[in-house]
Structures are given as structure tokens and as C-alpha cells.
Chain A
């Protein structure tokens, strides 16, 4: 990544968060990873106290999003990110257990950039995350709109 990109990880399961982080690191990605275990904390971080998203202006963000959160659905977060003028250009990777085709379709319709189903088999899981890490290391991420 050409400029410091912050990875925002919204994942309620701490075990999953840890496994994802480890595997991303193993693929050689050393960017800062900010983790949130619930939707509200993540929203406050992304949109700021005023909810406008102005706080993230100029920052390059990559968002890793789980759909099943204790306090809200990931889809709501996705929608708000894609409707916000500062954040809508930031890539959103949905990483969740659901492989329901309706759900996948809905996410892409709302503007998610990548949808990955967490494989239950750990080897596949680790492999997928590592490949995602490799993907992170080559993609261009725009800064939040100025």
C-alpha cells in the first residue's frame, strides 16, 4: 500500500478477530489494525461524535466487516458507510459466517466491495485470510474524500 492505510476490523467474536489479525500479519501486512467488538463503538470511530464522518477526512481506510453483531447488523453499517460522502470510497470487505446467497446479493447491492464467507475448516480459513492479506498489500485504497 502506497500510503499508510488503517484497517478497521468490526468483529464481535474476539477469537475470530485474533485469528484474522494473526493471519493477516502472517501474509506480511503490517498496517495498523483497529478492532471493534460491537457496532456502536465502530460507528463512533468511523463517523465521529457528530456522526458526519468528518473525522476520517483524508484518512485511507479499509474496513473488514462482520454481519452478525450483537447491537446492530453489519448491513446497517455497510449502508451508512456507502451513503456517507467521506467514507463511501473506502473498500469494505464483508467477512462473515453466512453463505446465504440472498445475503451475499444484498451486500453487493448495498455496495460492499468483497464478500468472503469464513470457512469453518481452519486451514481454509487461514488460507483465505492470508490471501486477503496479500490482496490488501497490492490494492490501492483512496483516502476518504476531501
Chain B
């Protein structure tokens, strides 16, 4: 649910950023396009003005030619003639220029064709007038002028020019409007786009701030959860410790209180045994009396032989008592073992610096006699030193070495090896032998209290390994076994190099 919301928020932010980018791109492209269009429109507006100017310039030249022609006709002064010739020479280029300028507009092209025809007619008249004047026939020239005026040539020129100017004015209005529209559009587009970007930025900032707030909240919740977790772990650890202590006390009290009735059972069984002896001796005495008629010799009690059914009874009685006594003895051993284990569990460890090699050599020397008997050789390889509880380590190693000697293969010289190395703050010890080995299905069982494995030809209670594992665990380590039947065993113990007293005594 939370992950879903998170994903959605991330999606929205990406969308927002993309939208912002898109808007910016569109605005930029649109602005460039619109600015270009506005420039284009302006150019057209300018063009229109130029065309108008050109038309006016053309008309001016035509009028100039006309007026100078009239001046020449009246005065025949050479000044007017040269002026007229200049004006006539300027008309055609001006007309050509105008033609080029309005080439894009079909309506104006028609107009200019007509204008050109009219101007050419007029120019023709001019040249004829000039010729007449030069030849001294001013009357004919005057007649031509009248003809020109009457033939509407000048009027046509004026009309055509006016039509063109009107057309250009129309175009001017149109193009000005276009240009204005483009500029307005560009401006509003930029404005709206900027506003849009600002809005998007604000939404984005809001989203970022909100997600930052959510993150802060999550962080503080995580912190709280961590603190809470630690408290919970501490509580649970304390509970476990309490439960463990309870079990220890329980085991101690149970085993201790079980001993008391055991003393009674044992005691009165012995009393019964003595009583039984007395009773059977009496029975024997009475039987003997009845057999030979004289009482048994008073100085030799207990030497009376029972016969037949009496003997059977006595044997049954002794057998029953024997079973009771062996059972009691066994029960006593078990209770003592539990008692010792619980007592060991209650003992406070005291970490000291330990020369492991020295410690194991001492153990080996105490086991030397058994080793010689079993034809076993014990090899010590370099061993790491530890800070740990000396007594616990002694018990661990002596149990394991003792086991190794005890469970060798009969008839095969024993070879027991003790190796050590360190890894990540832990010391790892391996005690391996070439003895009878342990079936893998028994690997768990051998660590259980009162459980043993393999051929039961050696004395033992099934306590040693349970005890060793309990000690290793209390020292903060682990132990394991790898073994195959008839292929030797290797017990591996991992212990912290520096066992810290605080991590154990804190719970006491």
C-alpha cells in the first residue's frame, strides 16, 4: 500500500517534469516560429510601403517628363529638353523596378501591364512631340499633346497608378494586421508559457516538499521503530534469561529434592536386606532343627544352607533387592549429573588470558596414562590464545580429548590431533581422531543429555558432550561434529577470542 503510493508519487513527479520540459520546448519553438513570422510580416509591410513609394516616384518622373516637354514646346530652351530627356530615361528603369517589386501579386501584375502599355504610348508621344519641335513644327506637337490629353493616356496612367496605390494600401492594412496579430500571439504565447512553467514549478516544489516531509516522517518513524525494536529485544532477552534461570533453579531444586527420598529408599532397602538375611537365617535354623533334632551352633550364624523352596525364596528376594539397588544407584548417578550440570550453569565465568597450548598440554599429561593404555599419540599443532574462563576451557578440552582416547578403534594405534586457527574474532579448534567414528544419524543425539551412540562397551552416563556444548554456548561459541562410522571424528569448537564478562554478567 505504502509502496504503491510511493510509486505513484514518483510517477507524478516524473510526469510533471516531462510536462514542464514539453511546455518549455513548445513555447520555445512557438516563440521562434512566431517571431520569425512577425519579422516576415514586417518585411511584407515594409515591402508594401516601398512599392507605394516606387509608384509615386514613377508618377513623379512621368509628370516631370510631361511638364518639361511642355516647357520645351513653349520656350524651346535646351534646359527643358535635357530635363525631359533625363526624366524619360528614368521612367523605364523605375517601371522595371516596380514590375519586379510587384511580381508576387497577380492583381498588381495586371495593373502594371496596363500601366506599362499606357506609359509606353505616352513615351512614344513624347518622342514624336520632341521630334516635331526639333523640326520646327510646334503646331503638330501641340496637336499631339491635345491628342494625348484627349486620348486619355495621362488619365489612364493616373488611374492605373491610383489603382495600384489603393491595392497596396489594402495590402498594407492586411499585412499590418497580420504582423500585429503575430506579435500579439508571440507575446501571449511567451506569457502563457511562462505562467504555465511557473505553475508547474510551484506544483513540483510543493510535491518535493511534501515528499521531503513524508521522508522525514518515515525517518523518524524508522528511528522510533529501531529504538522500540531494541527495547523489545532487550525485554525478550531478559524474559529468556529469566526463563533460563528459572529452568536452572527448577532443575536444581528437583534434582536436589529427589535425592532425599532416594536416601530413604536406599536406606530401607539395605535395612530390608539385612532383615531378609536375618529371616532366612532363622528359617534355615528352624529347618535344620527339624531335620536333625538339635539347635544350630550359636557361634556360626549365616552359614546355614537353605534347601529347596526356601532357597528359591531367598534367591528371589535377593534378586528383587538387587534390581532395586542397581536402579537406585543409576537414578542417583543421573540426579547427581543433573545437579552438577545445573551447578555448572550457575557458576560465574571469569575471563582470564589463557595460554591454550599450556592448558591443553596439562590436560594431555593428566590423560597420559589412558593414552598409553590405548596406544594413542596426541599431536598438538599451533593454537591461538584466548581470553576466556579457564575451568570451562579445561572441562571442554579434557572431555573431548578423553572421548577421543576412549572411543578409539580396538587394535588400531590412536592418533589424536588438536589444531587451531583464528577467523574474524573467533578461535576455531579442531580435535580429530582416527577412532571408531559416529554414525551421521547420531550426530545430534550425542549432544543430548543421557544419550550415547555406537557400541556401549565403555562406562559413561551420556553427560560429557551435553556438558561441553552447554559450556561452549555459555562462552558465546558453537560446536559441531563431522564424522563417519569407522572413519574417525572431528569435533570443531568456535569460541570468541576475547570473551567479554559484561555480556554474561549483565544478566545476572
**Interface residues in chain A, defined as those with a beta carbon under 8 Å from any beta carbon in chain B:** 13, 15-16, 19, 22, 68, 97-98, 100, 118, 120-123, 125-126
- C-alpha gap A13/B256 in the complex (Å): 14
Given contacts A16-B264, A97-B263, contact A122 B269 (CB under 8 A): yes
Q: Contact check: which of A22, A100, A121, A125 meets B343 at CB < 8 Å?
A: A100
Query: B264 and A123: CB pair below 8 A?
Result: no
- C-alpha gap A118/B257 in the complex (Å): 13
22 pairs of residues in contact across A and B, judged by CB atoms under 8 Å: A13-B260, A13-B261, A15-B263, A15-B264, A15-B268, A16-B260, A16-B263, A16-B264, A16-B267, A19-B263, A19-B268, A19-B271, A68-B256, A97-B256, A97-B259, A97-B260, A118-B263, A120-B263, A123-B270, A125-B266, A125-B267, A126-B270
Interface string of B226-270 (1 = CB under 8 A from A): 000000000000000000000000000000110111111011111
Query: Inside 8 A of A123's CB, which chain B residues have their CB?
Result: 270
Tell me if B344 counts as interface (CB < 8 A to partner A): no
Query: Inside 8 A of A100's CB, which chain B residues have their CB?
Result: 343
Interface string of B88-128 (1 = CB under 8 A from A): 00000000000000000000000000000000000000000
**With A13-B260, A118-B263 already in contact, 14 other A-B pairs whose C-beta atoms are closer than 8 Å:** A15-B261, A15-B264, A15-B267, A16-B260, A16-B263, A16-B264, A19-B264, A97-B256, A118-B259, A120-B332, A122-B269, A125-B263, A126-B267, A126-B270
- C-alpha gap A98/B263 in the complex (Å): 13
Task: Tally B residues with Cβ within 8 Å of A.
Answer: 19
Query: Inside 8 A of B260's CB, which chain A residues have their CB?
Result: 13, 16, 68, 97
- C-alpha gap A123/B332 in the complex (Å): 14
- C-alpha gap A57/B84 in the complex (Å): 176
- C-alpha gap A13/B270 in the complex (Å): 18
Give me the 5 closest cross-chain CB pairs, A-B, nearest first. A15-B264, A122-B266, A122-B270, A19-B267, A120-B332
Chain B's nearest CB lies how many Å from the CB of A68?
Answer: 7
Query: Inside 8 A of A120's CB, which chain B residues have their CB?
Result: 259, 262-263, 266, 332, 335-336
Chain A's nearest CB lies how many Å from the CB of B342?
Answer: 10
Query: A13 and B267: CB pair below 8 A?
Result: no
Near A by CB (< 8 A), chain B positions 329-375 give: 329, 332, 335-336, 343
Query: A122 and B343: CB pair below 8 A?
Result: no
- C-alpha gap A97/B271 in the complex (Å): 20
Chain B's nearest CB lies how many Å from the CB of A116?
Answer: 13
Query: Inside 8 A of B269's CB, which chain A residues have their CB?
Result: 122
The listed residue with most A CB atoms (<10 A of its CB), out of B260, B264, B270, B332, is B260
- C-alpha gap A117/B267 in the complex (Å): 15
Closest A residue, CB atoms, query B331: A120
Chain B's nearest CB lies how many Å from the CB of A126?
Answer: 7
- C-alpha gap A125/B343 in the complex (Å): 23
Query: A121 and B264: CB pair below 8 A?
Result: no
Query: B257 and A122: CB pair below 8 A?
Result: no
- C-alpha gap A122/B257 in the complex (Å): 17
- C-alpha gap A123/B268 in the complex (Å): 11
Closest B residue, CB atoms, query A129: B267
- C-alpha gap A140/B33 in the complex (Å): 130
Closest B residue, CB atoms, query A119: B263
The listed residue with most B CB atoms (<10 A of its CB), out of A16, A68, A121, is A121
Closest A residue, CB atoms, query B253: A68
The listed residue with most A CB atoms (<10 A of its CB), out of B263, B268, B335, is B263
- C-alpha gap A19/B332 in the complex (Å): 18
Chain A's nearest CB lies how many Å from the CB of B223?
Answer: 46
Query: Inside 8 A of B343's CB, which chain A residues have their CB?
Result: 100
Query: Inside 8 A of B335's CB, which chain A residues have their CB?
Result: 120
Chain A's nearest CB lies how many Å from the CB of B249?
Answer: 13
